[in-house]
Structure 1
Amino acid sequence: MAALEQNSDGSCNDLVNSNKNCTNSLSEEIRKQADEVKDKANTYFKNEQYNEAINFYTQAIELNPYNAPYYGNRSFAYLRTECFGYALEDASKALDLDRNYIKAYYRRASANMALGKFKLALKDFEAVVKVKPNDKDARAKYNECAKIVRMMAFQKAISSSDSESVVEKLDLENMVIEDDYNGPALENNKVTEKFVTELLDTFKNQKKLHRKFAYQILIQAKEYFSKQLTLVDIDVPKDSKFTICGDIHGQFYDLLNIFELNGLPSKDNPYLFNGDFVDRGSFSVECILSLLSLKLLYPQHFYMSRGNHESITMNQMYGFDGEVKSKYTSQMCDLFTEVFNWIPLAHCINKKIMVCHGGLFSDPAVTLDDIRKVDRNRQPPESGIMCELLWSDPQIVPGTAPSKRGVGVQFGPDVTENFLKVNNLDYIIRSHEVKDAGYEIMHNGKCITVFSAPNYCDTMKNKGAFITIKGGDLTPKYTSYEAVPHPNVKPMAYASSLFGLF
């Protein structure tokens, strides 16, 4: 490696090599001050106050930018707040400063896994194994990641050679309903109000829906969604109420609380759920089957937008894949994927409000018609309209910037204003981010975030919220609520064993 050079003022020209000389250029007082700030950050991290931890790690880095563990610690905090792009940058920076800092390899591997880049993650695990060949934990993580890479390659090979739907492989006619099953049943293969009422009660009591009925719901939902456009137009009559909910993330008992507070969905009480129905929360199966049943019962009064977690990679890491396999079958996982691929990406209410899960675009010329034309029957790509609808986030400053998540973009108030002007809209509603009050208003009131999973992952202490509007003036009203108790099943109970890295 090249020798590290220092300018006369003590600054460094080359940070690829050891940071020893640069560190020595700092006074003992500054290094001590930086460590004290880092200790404060660690305390906030231990108390699961990750945003505060990030602020103090940043202060420590500003005082001493040559300390690899500072970046490694902040990377870990970014992982906890799902800022995977920032986590990746910090882990790489830590390794630039110290190639022997093992934790940074784990952090970078974690960020890459969260972004679905398992081959890159595998390289970092391999690097750790080479340095610590006798470390059983490192070897286990390497083997687990290698297994996922092989499985993904196999799935890709299968999908390219076998385009047959799961639906065509099912033999529902001969699927036996056991004599001792006393749960809800479809009537003439149709979802009814009675069925939905019994289903919600069954799930509330931690009982299962029979797999035959679950399969039938999925098949019918896929058929319905496949006939919809990528962007669905909704007409809300002048004096009618309409409710928009954000992320639910498998928190079934909080979903029931929304219905308790705001009434069950019906023709007179329509809803739109804006993505991320599953993952993290360990009652994701109950959430998604309930929502799909409501969609089939009230197809013109109950709407669902796809979120970034309605995808294979997210489901493999964050628990939904494992939960479906535990409660039903791996074949049902594949059918869920087919259903998710067809869920619309956006909705437009009364030609004035666009609702999507993530946000806006790097291309300022995108129109609603462009969204309508998107071929959504696929896994989310890493760029383009579909990717940005699912992954983007608003920012305070004007313009666009690389996403803190590593996918999509961050977009400023000018981007929102331009999109609304181009498409003759009043404002946008999106979800995708935890907010303390369950909602946040940005960009001069033109970009609203709603997040409906309170005390997210049983750790974030945030409120959940939903938005109601009237068809006449479309003025948003916000209802916030606390989390309710749930059975003693922890979030991420079905997640990949690699998730311990996060």
Structure 2
Amino acid sequence: MASAADQATALKNDGNKAFAAHDWPKAIDLYTKAIELNDKEPAFFTNRAQAYIKSEAYGYAIADATKAAELNPKFVKAYFRRAVAHAAILRPKDAVQDLRKCVTLDPTNKDAKLKLAECQKIVRQLNFYAAIEVGDEPSAAEGLDLNSMTVEPDYDGVKLGEEITQEFIDDMIERFKSGKKIHRKYVYQIVIAVKKIVYEEPTMVEMKIPDDVKLTVCGDTHGQYYDLMELFRLNGRPSEKHWYLFNGDFVDRGSWSTEIALLLYAYKWLRPSGMFLNRGNHETDDMNKVYGFEGECKAKYNERVFKLFSESFSALPLATLIGTRYLVLHGGLFSDDNVTLDDIRKVNRHAQRQPGQSGLMMEMLWTDPQTAPGRGPSKRGVGMQFGPDVTKRFCEKNGLDAIIRSHEVRMDGYEEEHDGKCITVFSAPKYCDQTENRGAYINIGPDYKLDFHQFDAVPHPPIRPMAYANNSLMSMM
């Protein structure tokens, strides 16, 4: 019979095969089994750390890389993996420390030297932004005279007047499919109109499904425009009798984020009470600066467009209550059992534009479920995790059947956890062209029964994910 060490090596090799097939959960499981048989091999921990990075469990990756460095303080890969995870959760100062260690241990490591210089540049930029930050900047819409802005005669799309039309949206969908843009005047009109609409909505929107209406709940779409088109092809586009709720993370990572944001906003303008938009953790300035949306806005339009989107994102509701049955929010539940729906209603999102490092807004955008009871540290390194008992108490206290959240890839596109009281839905299949996951959406009728549907990714033009991202950090992943 093979020794424990040999069995562990075989499991690690199987983990490498699963990793090569982009099945991160399977790779993590196999590396974990290898570690259970042999917890003295640092490479097992750095391999699992890399799989955690791919599945965005950056907190777990940091823990594994730290363990590898403890087992072998001269293991360059351990510090490099930890630097990558620190950079991913926007801690470039910590990444700089680890990269310095890499260079000290291996002065010939060109990759570590390059990444160190890039991270040091990011730190300097962040220090500069912090130094010049002012409290109440004027709106990016100030001084924007839309009436005098002309659309060039050679613009070949449908014209937009004072109000949005279905004809304009249909034309915009086709323009975006063929790689065209809409005129920046129309971008300004759409974003400004929708900011006004969502600003007036409550922090927790409360809606009921009429007898003749179907509601579709979608999770993260992350700039995967062609996959959103596939979802609409299979399930139908938004209409008077077919409402949609998009549960955050419309933007970043995928390279058609402006197209998705503009399309969802156009539908919101056309039917304010039939298109619901929750804020996600990627509808925030710090994520947009790194994960691509800011760069995409500037590349396709201009900086003002990004600033207008930023203002509109901070005005988005944080949750939607469907009937009295389902609370839909991007991340999850809270560090305090006493939080109620009333507490969510009272969150003043207009006073606190960005979620920060603590508080209800941050937890609503960032937390994740766990299988163990109670609460635990976040696998992401941001927020925390909540167990089935936490979910059960919250639902019982607030008279809910379940919470519906997004925020995490699920290989089947959705997952029912915590005895069916915590449901995750994710609508970006083959996420970032790297993860072999399906996408999903949930249809809910007037009977409030959940009807799950899965779909697969479709081909898209040859533009890689995060093509507009801050490459100084993204090239590390």
The two structures have a TM-score, normalised by structure 2, of 0.94
Deviation at 1:409, TM superposition (A): 2.2
Does residue 305 (structure 1) correspond to residue 281 (structure 2)? The answer is no
For 1:17, the equivalent position in structure 2 comes to none
Alpha-carbon distance in structure 2 between the residues aligned to 1:236 and 1:455: 31
From 326, 329, 335, give the equivalent of 1:356: 329
Q: Summarize deviations over 1:353-377 as a string: whole Å, max 9, x none.
A: 1101111112111111111222324
Contact 2:157 2:182 survives alignment (8 Å):
yes
Does residue 406 (structure 1) correspond to residue 381 (structure 2)? The answer is yes
Deviation at 1:33, TM superposition (A): 3.4
For 2:421, the equivalent position in structure 1 comes to 446
Does residue 488 (structure 1) correspond to residue 459 (structure 2)? The answer is no
Deviation at 1:175, TM superposition (A): 4.1
| Distance change in 2, residues 1:97/1:169 (3 Å) | farther
Deviation at 1:247, TM superposition (A): 1.0
After TM superposition, the structure 1 = structure 2 runs for residues 125-204 of structure 1, keeping only pairs within 5 Å, are 125-160=99-134, 163-188=137-162, 190-204=163-177
Letter in 2 for 1:149: V
Q: Which runs of 4+ in 1 moved over 6 A?
A: none
2:134 aligned counterpart, secondary structure: helix
Q: Summarize deviations over 1:393-449 as a string: whole Å, max 9, x none.
A: 222232221121122222222211111111112221111122233211122222211
Contact 1:183 1:208 survives alignment (8 Å):
no
Q: Summarize deviations over 1:429-487 as a string: whole Å, max 9, x none.
A: 1111222332111222222111111222223222211111122x211111212222222
Contact 2:220 2:250 survives alignment (8 Å):
yes
Deviation at 1:383, TM superposition (A): 2.4
User: Which piece of structure 1 moves more, 277-286 or 317-326?
Assistant: 317-326
Does residue 35 (structure 1) correspond to residue 35 (structure 2)? The answer is no
User: Which piece of structure 1 moves more, 461-470 or 70-79?
Assistant: 461-470
| Distance change in 2, residues 1:372/1:413 (3 Å) | same
Does residue 420 (structure 1) correspond to residue 398 (structure 2)? The answer is no
For 1:467, the equivalent position in structure 2 comes to 442
| Distance change in 2, residues 1:184/1:126 (3 Å) | farther
For 2:293, the equivalent position in structure 1 comes to 320
The gaps in structure 1 that reach 5 residues or longer are 1-27
* TM-align CA RMSD: 1.9
Q: Summarize deviations over 1:148-182 as a string: whole Å, max 9, x none.
A: 22222222333326622222254545544333221
| Distance change in 2, residues 1:426/1:36 (3 Å) | closer
Deviation at 1:184, TM superposition (A): 3.5
| Distance change in 2, residues 1:328/1:132 (3 Å) | farther
Deviation at 1:336, TM superposition (A): 1.9
Alpha-carbon distance in structure 2 between the residues aligned to 1:361 and 1:390: 10
For 1:343, the equivalent position in structure 2 comes to 316
2:475 aligned counterpart, secondary structure: helix
1:480 aligned counterpart, secondary structure: strand
Alpha-carbon distance in structure 2 between the residues aligned to 1:171 and 1:99: 60
Deviation at 1:239, TM superposition (A): 4.2
Alpha-carbon distance in structure 1 between the residues aligned to 2:419 and 2:135: 50
For 1:106, the equivalent position in structure 2 comes to 80
Alpha-carbon distance in structure 2 between the residues aligned to 1:306 and 1:33: 46
Does residue 375 (structure 1) correspond to residue 344 (structure 2)? The answer is no
Alpha-carbon distance in structure 2 between the residues aligned to 1:399 and 1:162: 40
1:347 aligned counterpart, secondary structure: strand
| Distance change in 2, residues 1:181/1:481 (3 Å) | same
Deviation at 1:127, TM superposition (A): 2.6
Alpha-carbon distance in structure 2 between the residues aligned to 1:197 and 1:239: 24
From 262, 282, 285, give the equivalent of 2:235: 262
Which structure exhibits the higher relative contact order, with contacts defined as CA atoms closer than 8 Å and separated by 6 or more residues?
Answer: 2
For 1:250, the equivalent position in structure 2 comes to 223
Contact 1:244 1:468 survives alignment (8 Å):
yes
How many residues in Structure 1 have an aligned counterpart in Structure 2?
A: 473
1:65 aligned counterpart, secondary structure: coil
Letter in 1 for 2:360: I
For 1:208, the equivalent position in structure 2 comes to 181
Alpha-carbon distance in structure 2 between the residues aligned to 1:58 and 1:413: 23
Letter in 2 for 1:389: M
From 245, 248, 259, give the equivalent of 1:275: 248
Letter in 2 for 1:426: D
Contact 2:373 2:389 survives alignment (8 Å):
yes
For 1:22, the equivalent position in structure 2 comes to none
For 1:284, the equivalent position in structure 2 comes to 257
Contact 1:34 1:61 survives alignment (8 Å):
yes
After TM superposition, the structure 1 = structure 2 runs for residues 37-52 of structure 1, keeping only pairs within 5 Å, are 37-52=11-26
Contact 2:158 2:168 survives alignment (8 Å):
yes
From 63, 81, 93, give the equivalent of 1:89: 63
Larger radius of gyration: 1
1:163 aligned counterpart, secondary structure: coil
Letter in 1 for 2:468: Y
Letter in 2 for 1:305: N
Alpha-carbon distance in structure 2 between the residues aligned to 1:176 and 1:130: 58
Alpha-carbon distance in structure 1 between the residues aligned to 2:106 and 2:174: 51
Contact 1:184 1:209 survives alignment (8 Å):
no
Alpha-carbon distance in structure 2 between the residues aligned to 1:142 and 1:337: 30
Alpha-carbon distance in structure 1 between the residues aligned to 2:412 and 2:41: 36
The gaps in structure 2 that reach 5 residues or longer are none
Alpha-carbon distance in structure 2 between the residues aligned to 1:449 and 1:200: 28
Alpha-carbon distance in structure 1 between the residues aligned to 2:148 and 2:188: 13
| Distance change in 2, residues 1:195/1:354 (3 Å) | same
